[in-house]
Structure 1
Amino acid sequence: MDHSGSLVLIMAAAVLAPLLAYGISRWLAVPLVIFEILLGILLGPDVLGWVHTAEVVDVLSNLGLAMLIFLAGYELEFDRVRGDTLKRSVWAWLIALALGLGIGTLLAHGGGFEKGVYVGTALTSTALGAILPVLRDAGDLGSRFGSVVMAMGALGEFGPIIAMALLLSGRAPGQSAALLAAFAVLTAVAVLWALRPKPPWFSNVIAKTLHSSGQFAVRLVVLLLVSMLALAQVLGLDILLGAFAAGLITRLVLHGAAPEASETVLSKVEAMGFGFLVPLFFVVTGVEFDLEALLSGGRELLLLPLFLLLFLVVRGLPIWLLAPRDLGRRDRSALVLFGSTALPLVVAITTLGVEDGKVDPGEAAALVGAGMLSVLVFPLVGLRLRDRVRAREGGRIGGDESW
């Protein structure tokens, strides 16, 4: 099928996915991303063979991944993740990185430390962009539990991107650190600009074009995103680092210059992201999923449940040990499950590993498959635990002596 036909089928799958999620929600709350990836696998070369990726599809898919990370960066609220919670999140991720690199190297199967870096870094990631909508829909995003998940998840998004820039760039560590420092300085300059008071005309233009064809604020957001992506690319860093930084900067700009319009602008950007680019990325992930390599090899198939367990061990164990002490046992367990949910960065890292010839397609498929299962299973179990906590808290408030 030609490129236009493939794109039509990909978008048809993106439209069908929420219908399937809605239809099955009366029995089971399945994350939308699962249907998007499964439909991609169905349409892809290993099943029906109706869709094949091409340059235009790959470009749009990469933009979708960038938009997903951008929105995750935008959701990060500094005032809710600072202090002791942030320190615990940093240490939890650093311990996870040490565990991941060690276990990844042991599982490298002759590939050595470099292959272990790909596997180990993927094991330290958290799908913040996938779990935030789940928390938002459950009404947990603004709670204490939600703020801790956001802190742990932010490190699970940002930390692996930094590790990729340092360990997977092919440059000497000193050179990589210098480029990261240069990016940090330029990002800090952008943050300072974002924090400066804007002239009255700035907010006036945002307000006057908010519901017109001008859409100044939306165009500014897109400019910030592509500028940070370009800056990261020029410095030889992963574009995901630029996307995350762009999300942080955009939040500061909008909330500082036009707080009354920020939610409306965000809804427009989310419509562009979750309505087009992000689902396209996940459907294409399914199309490119190497199902044949996963099913044809005994070792690769055994690796899938092992990787799923390792998400809990590598990412979850440090979170359990360093979770804030004010969280109860069930909340800590739910925090482990949400923090161990991984997929977008797993896809990005394994794709890079396959392209560089360091990760076998079957192993990459096992990692991505484990990430898919984590997105399907972990948030559902985490929500059940949170429901029990809320029920218990409600019982206490209501004076139910059975609690």
Structure 2
Amino acid sequence: MFDSTLTGILVIAVAAVLSPILAAFVGRFVRVPNVVVEILLGVLCGPVVLGWIPLNEAINGISEFGLAMLLFMAGYEIEFARIKGRPIRLAVWGWFISLGLGALLGLATSGFTLSAQIIGLAVTTTALGTILPMVRDAGALPTPFGGRVLAIGALGEFGPIVAMAFVFSEDERWHTILVIALFAAIAIGAAFMAARPRHPALARLVSGTMGTSGQLAVRIVMLVLIAMVVIAHAFGLDVLLGAFAAGIVIRLTIESGPKEEEHIVSAKLDAIGFGMLIPFFFVVSGAKLDLLSLFTDLSSLLLIPVFLVALLLVRGLPTYLLHRRDSELRPGESKALALFASAGLPLIVVITNTGVEAGAISSAHAAAMVTAGVFSVMIYPLAALRLYRIADKECEDLSA
């Protein structure tokens, strides 16, 4: 078993290296996010096709930590100074409208069942970690448009994680609410402590070990991440909530220090997360996908376009309607926002995996929903970027 685990880890590492190379090659024709290539390579190397990746306890354990790192990075990316006020208010309204529409969709397809709740919840997600690099590369992140993307993505990640606690919890609703409130109090307390000025001795030690083997800053980050995950688990909550909260706490901590330190630590976290742990999660997620079952179940194949359109209607439509009269956005940017909001993949993977493990949905339906999520991050963000560039060019022409 140990030999097969090492071989599986080697295969995953090779897939992680190949994914950006293949994405760059395919990118000459059509832009494909790394995460999509990682999932497809996982399908190829997984038990369904080549069988090179054993889905044993060791590999699943590393994959789960990669997922925690993904949600940590999503929380870390949120800049509260950028989203406070109108952006976050509109994002909150938009997500709750999406939640209501998702619930109606679930009821229409599966009635009052756990399957309906899973379907309804999956369409309320937004892949912040996937779309944010695209927004940053386009130079849109510092603009009001970028602030709206941050806010919408934050709610599209945080909202479903909290809702999962209610959907998959076996406790009474009041107990779940109490536990979440208690965890929130701990997270807020940690965030308050993080935002305070550091003790000079600690600040010197953090700076002094930044380029040495001590790496105190990175070790503190890992400690906070693990501690918040453990606390969430001890409370009976999804560990993803702990990971997301840890990202927010660390963001506030970093912002209270020197700007140069923020850049260095962010680069190190990107290296740890996107260099190893997060690709590991997506490759293993692909290995768990039973895509072959799609071709033995016609209803699953039909679910792909239905779910793809549902993401656009449930997440995109409320976003567009709420932001179309936003005075800080240029003409056309509200449509781009709607398309960005409709791109959902990482949490769709998580929600459907949990649904399969709970016996609420079939592996074929889970594969169809994840496939639709793959198409959503391939199609909607590219269309959104095109609309944003058109709006940007029209603004330049008017000011010329």
1:191-206 to structure 2, matched below 5 A, reads 191-206=191-206
Q: Which residue does 1:325 correspond to in 2?
A: 326
Residues of 1 paired with 2:143 and 2:53: CA distance? Answer: 42
Residues of 2 paired with 1:24 and 1:69: CA distance? Answer: 27
How many residues align structurally?
Answer: 396
Q: Which residue does 1:256 correspond to in 2?
A: 256
Q: Which residue does 1:181 correspond to in 2?
A: 181
Cα distance, 1:259 vs structure 2: 3.5
Tell me the SS of whatever aligns to 1:17: helix
Give the counterpart of 1:57 among 34, 59, 63.
59
Q: Is the 8 A contact 1:202 1:257 kept in 2?
A: no
Q: RMSD of the alignment, in Å?
A: 1.3
Cα distance, 1:269 vs structure 2: 1.1
Cα distance, 1:329 vs structure 2: 4.4
Cα distance, 1:95 vs structure 2: 0.8
Q: Which residue does 2:72 correspond to in 1?
A: 70
Instruction: Give CA deviations for 1:146-186 in whole Å, capped at 9, x if unaligned.
Output: 11011111100000011111232121110000000000111
Tell me the SS of whatever aligns to 1:139: coil
Q: Which residue does 1:208 correspond to in 2?
A: 208
Cα distance, 1:397 vs structure 2: 2.3
Tell me which amino acid in the other structure corresponds to 1:343: L
Q: Which residue does 1:166 correspond to in 2?
A: 166
Residues of 2 paired with 1:170 and 1:10: CA distance? Answer: 34
Q: Which residue does 1:34 correspond to in 2?
A: 36
Tell me which amino acid in the other structure corresponds to 1:356: A
Give the counterpart of 1:79 among 65, 78, 81.
81
Tell me which amino acid in the other structure corresponds to 1:395: D
Provide structure 1 residue ranges, at least 5 long, that are not aligned to the other structure. Answer: 399-403
Q: Is the 8 A contact 2:126 2:345 kept in 1?
A: yes
Q: Which residue does 1:113 correspond to in 2?
A: 113
Residues of 1 paired with 2:65 and 2:107: CA distance? Answer: 31
Q: Is the 8 A contact 1:334 1:386 kept in 2?
A: yes
Q: Is the 8 A contact 1:128 1:157 kept in 2?
A: yes
TM-score by length of 2: 0.96
Residues of 1 paired with 2:326 and 2:335: CA distance? Answer: 13
Residues of 1 paired with 2:368 and 2:67: CA distance? Answer: 20
Tell me the SS of whatever aligns to 1:350: helix
Q: Which residue does 1:304 correspond to in 2?
A: 304
Provide structure 2 residue ranges, at least 5 long, that are not aligned to the other structure. Answer: none
1:93-172 to structure 2, matched below 5 A, reads 93-108=95-110, 112-172=112-172
Tell me the SS of whatever aligns to 2:113: helix
1:323-362 to structure 2, matched below 5 A, reads 323=323, 325-326=326-327, 327-362=329-364
Instruction: Give CA deviations for 1:249-274 in whole Å, capped at 9, x if unaligned.
Output: 00111221343311101110110100
TM-score by length of 1: 0.96
Residue 390 and residue 328 in structure 1: after superposition, are their counterparts in 2 closer, same or farther (change >3 A)? closer
Q: Which residue does 1:265 correspond to in 2?
A: 265
Between 1:1-10 and 1:270-279, the stretch displaced more is 1-10
Tell me which amino acid in the other structure corresponds to 1:165: A
Residues of 2 paired with 1:173 and 1:183: CA distance? Answer: 15
Q: Is the 8 A contact 2:31 2:378 kept in 1?
A: no
Q: Which residue does 1:401 correspond to in 2?
A: none
Instruction: Give CA deviations for 1:168-214 in whole Å, capped at 9, x if unaligned.
Output: 21211100000000001111110111122211111111111000000
Residues of 1 paired with 2:167 and 2:23: CA distance? Answer: 38
Q: Which residue does 1:12 correspond to in 2?
A: 14
